[in-house]
């Protein structure tokens, strides 16, 4: 009995051992598969995904704090700072904040403190993306109250950083605003266009004036700090620094004191004053009203500020570059056409009348009586419409148009500023295109000869015309960069005027000031000058007024042109005193 039991027990043990021996290969295979999978995963993570995982680990223990470019300064010709940078506190946000469970609540807190709409904040974060490698700017020019509020929420808002940076500053406020311009943050489309040039989210660029024209020189380059942080995101150490690059400083041809005088003279009169160096076209002043303070763009613009700006009209429109009927200042062109044609030499004398009749239209003398017989000098001094109407009619429309274009009318001057208009010097083709195929008439020529009709010119173009007489017959290109002076003088375009043409016109312009319509230019504080008035009909409003002048008469240093829109009155009574004030500032002895 026991022998049988023993045999059964041995058989059972044998089967168990057999089963165990059979299980070993299976377990081995399973183990190999498991360890093989782990090995393959480790190899995959280390070899194929190694760089990516290392970068993620690096992100968890380091942070990159960007340092925006430092824009170069803008200076006037004497070194006065017109645009620079000032220290300011800015708020930045880590993009990972949007993935935190309390993001919705924190976003609301941030929005309230920084006066940013929650949807705008959300859009900014989404534009950057969750994996954006560095901080994104969300507010500049923080107030003390905003900084304090963010610090009070420091524990909750651990993804928000406050840093000291630089924002654009214009120490002289409104002075030369239309020349200098302002800066503004790039929108999404602009950022996409400029990424290849090194622009980043939250970057700023020049929006107007010199800030825009010389963006590449002024801009500078991005830098940054590499910081070591702990698991809670707190800064432990500075790991490295790449200083932000400083842009170039730009020196302008502008004289800040002459500019200030021009703006003061213009006051609240809608219009413009331009001052040029007639030798090379350097812009000494360019005032325009209404105007604005570019400092407002260094912080978010409130609706109240925007409404206040709009109440003035369009303060961003540079009136120096807008076109208006040049009126009797254009008689310089008409006189040139007459003298150069040979039909009306310097000794020409014509009768002047209450009006001249052309095609049934009466072109009236401004004094309604006529002045009797006149030559070039006296007709310029008293701005006779009928004298120059006869000259224009005699030389013909084509010659008048030709000389207008030689002086630079009907084309951009080439100044660096955006928004310059060409003005208008119409011809037969233009009229047919715009007036149902009606061709050019003699009446159109007579109208043009006195600066009316279709003719339109900018104050800057008129200043170029006066410069051509002052510098003995060269059309200059206006410019704002000081280093361009010599090259621009070399690029002057000769009008090939006869010496007798220049001499006759100069005598006439001197007579304007020495007892003619421009007598109010005379000042004991300036040398003798020469000039020309203009009064343009501008229905249904009051007339526009002009005055252009240069001084000293014998060796001109400066040309000044003043334009007042719908001012009423005459050019000699309204615009000439504005020019005189600028002349007085220019010739005022400099304090050293």
Going residue by residue through the chain, which has 592 residues, state the pLDDT in tens, using 9 for 90 and above: 444 444 445 555 555 545 554 555 666 666 666 656 666 665 555 665 555 555 555 555 666 667 778 899 999 999 999 999 998 888 888 887 777 788 889 889 999 999 888 888 888 888 877 777 677 888 888 889 999 999 888 888 888 888 887 889 999 999 999 999 999 988 888 988 998 988 888 789 999 999 999 999 999 988 776 667 665 555 566 577 778 789 999 999 999 999 999 999 999 999 999 999 999 999 999 999 999 999 998 876 777 777 887 777 899 999 999 999 999 999 999 999 999 999 999 999 999 999 999 988 999 999 999 999 999 999 999 999 999 999 999 999 999 999 999 999 999 999 999 999 999 999 999 999 999 999 999 999 999 999 999 999 999 999 999 999 999 999 999 999 998 777 787 789 999 999 999 999 999 999 999 999 999 999 999 999 999 999 999 988 899 999 999 999 999 999 999 999 999 999 999 999 999 999 999 999 754 3
336 and 368 both lie in a single domain:
yes
Domain assignment present for residue 334? The answer is: yes
pTM: 0.84
CA nearest neighbour of 573 among 531, 530, 535: 535
Looking at the fold, whether 197 and 283 belong to one and the same domain comes out as: no
Is residue 417 located within the same domain as residue 542?
yes
Give the domain CATH number at 330.
3.40.710.10
Instruction: Report the distance separating Cα 427 and Cα 170, nearest Å.
Output: 45
196 and 281 assigned to the same domain: no
Q: Which two tokens stand for residue 561?
A: 């042109």
Place of tokens 């070993």: 24
The answer to whether residue 203 is domain-embedded is: yes
Judge if 469 and 422 occupy the same domain.
yes
Range of the domain at 173: 73-251
> Which of 230, 251, 272 represents a domain boundary (last residue)?
251
SS3 141: coil
Residues 225 and 265 in one domain: no
The domain boundary residue, chosen from 213, 233, 251: 251
Residue 21 resides in a domain: no
Please say whether the beta carbons of 409 and 461 come within 8 A: yes
Residue 56 is assigned to a structural domain of this protein? no
- Asked if 229 and 324 sit in the same domain, the reply is no
| Residue at 8 is within a domain | no
d(CA 288, CA 510) in angstroms, rounded, equals 27
Gap between the Cα atoms of 125 and 141, Å rounded: 20
Residues 6+ apart with CB under 8 A from 274: 283, 285, 286, 287, 320, 459, 460, 462, 463, 560, 561
Do residues 344 and 476 share a domain? yes
286 and 243 in a common domain: no
- Domain count across the chain: 2
Residue that is last in its domain, among 251, 285, 309: 251
Q: Are residues 239 and 260 in the same domain?
A: no
Residue 444 in any domain: the answer is yes
- Report the CATH number that the domain containing residue 225 is assigned in CATH: 3.90.1310.10
Does 553 lie in the same domain as 410?
yes
**Residues shown for the chain:** 592
Asked if residue 213 and residue 112 are part of one domain, the reply reads yes
Residue 67 falls within a domain, yes or no?
no
For residue 475, being part of any structural domain is answered with: yes
Q: What is the Cα–Cα distance from 453 to 434, expressed in whole angstroms?
A: 14
């Amino acid at each position: 009995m026991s022998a049988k039991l023993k045999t059964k027990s041995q058989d059972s043990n044998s089967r168990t051992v057999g089963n165990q021996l059979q299980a070993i290969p299976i377990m081995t295979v399973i183990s190999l598969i498991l360890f093989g999978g782990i090995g393959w995963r480790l190899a995959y993570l280390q070899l194929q995904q190694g760089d990516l995982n290392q970068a993620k680990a690096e992100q968890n223990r380091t942070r990159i704090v960007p340092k925006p470019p430092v824009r170069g300064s803008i200076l006037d010709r004497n070194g006065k700072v017109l645009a620079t940078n000032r220290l300011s506190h800015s708020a930045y946000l880590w993009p990972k904040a949007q993935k935190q469970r309390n993001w919705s609540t924190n976003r609301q807190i941030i929005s309230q403190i920084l006066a940013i709409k929650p949807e705008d904040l959300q859009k900014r974060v989404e534009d950057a993306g969750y994996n954006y490698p560095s901080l994104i700017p969300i507010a500049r020019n923080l107030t003390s109250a905003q900084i304090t509020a963010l610090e009070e929420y420091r524990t909750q808002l651990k993804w928000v950083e406050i840093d000291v940076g630089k924002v654009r500053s214009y120490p002289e406020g409104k002075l030369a605003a239309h020349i200098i311009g302002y800066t503004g943050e790039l929108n999404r489309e602009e950022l996409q266009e400029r990424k290849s040039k090194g622009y980043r989210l939250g970057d700023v660029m020049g929006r107007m004036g010199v800030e825009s024209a010389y963006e590449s020189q002024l801009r500078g380059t991005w830098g940054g700090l590499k910081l070591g942080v702990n698991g809670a995101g707190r800064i432990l150490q500075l790991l490295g620094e790449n200083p932000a690059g400083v842009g170039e400083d730009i020196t302008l041809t502008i004289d800040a004191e002459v500019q200030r005088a021009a703006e003061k003279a213009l006051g609240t009169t809608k219009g413009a004053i331009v001052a040029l160096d007639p030798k090379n076209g350097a812009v000494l002043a360019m005032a325009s009203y209404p105007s604005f303070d570019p400092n407002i763009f260094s912080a978010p613009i409130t609706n109240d500020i925007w409404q206040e700006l709009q109440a003035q009209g369009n303060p961003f429109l540079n009136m120096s570059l807008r076109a208006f009927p040049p009126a009797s200042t254009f008689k310089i062109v008409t006189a040139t056409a007459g003298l150069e044609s040979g039909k009306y030499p310097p000794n020409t004398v014509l009768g002047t009348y209450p009006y001249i009749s052309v095609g049934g239209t009466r072109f009236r003398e401004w004094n309604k009586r006529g002045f009797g017989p006149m030559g070039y000098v006296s007709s310029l001094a008293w701005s006779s419409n009928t004298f120059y109407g006869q000259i224009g009619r005699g030389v013909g429309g084509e010659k008048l148009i030709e000389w207008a274009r030689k002086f630079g009318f009907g084309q951009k001057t080439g100044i660096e500023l955006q928004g310059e208009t060409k003005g208008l010097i119409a011809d037969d083709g233009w009229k047919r295109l715009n007036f149902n195929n009606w061709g050019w008439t003699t009446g159109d020529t007579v109208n043009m000869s006195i600066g009316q009709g279709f003719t339109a010119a900018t104050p800057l173009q008129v200043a170029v015309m006066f410069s051509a007489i002052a510098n003995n017959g060269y059309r200059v290109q206006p410019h704002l960069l000081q280093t361009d002076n010599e090259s621009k003088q070399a690029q002057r375009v000769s009008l090939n005027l006869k010496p007798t043409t220049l001499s006759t016109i100069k005598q006439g312009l001197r007579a304007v000031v020495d007892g003619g319509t421009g007598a109010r230019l005379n000042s004991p504080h300036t040398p003798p000058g020469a000039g020309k008035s203009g009064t343009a009909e501008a229905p249904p409003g009051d007339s526009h007024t002009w005055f252009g002048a240069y001084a000293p008469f014998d060796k001109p240093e400066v040309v000044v042109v003043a334009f007042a829109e719908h001012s009423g009155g005459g050019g000699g009574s309204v615009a000439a005193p504005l020019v005189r004030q600028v002349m007085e500032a220019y010739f005022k002895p400099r304090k050293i």
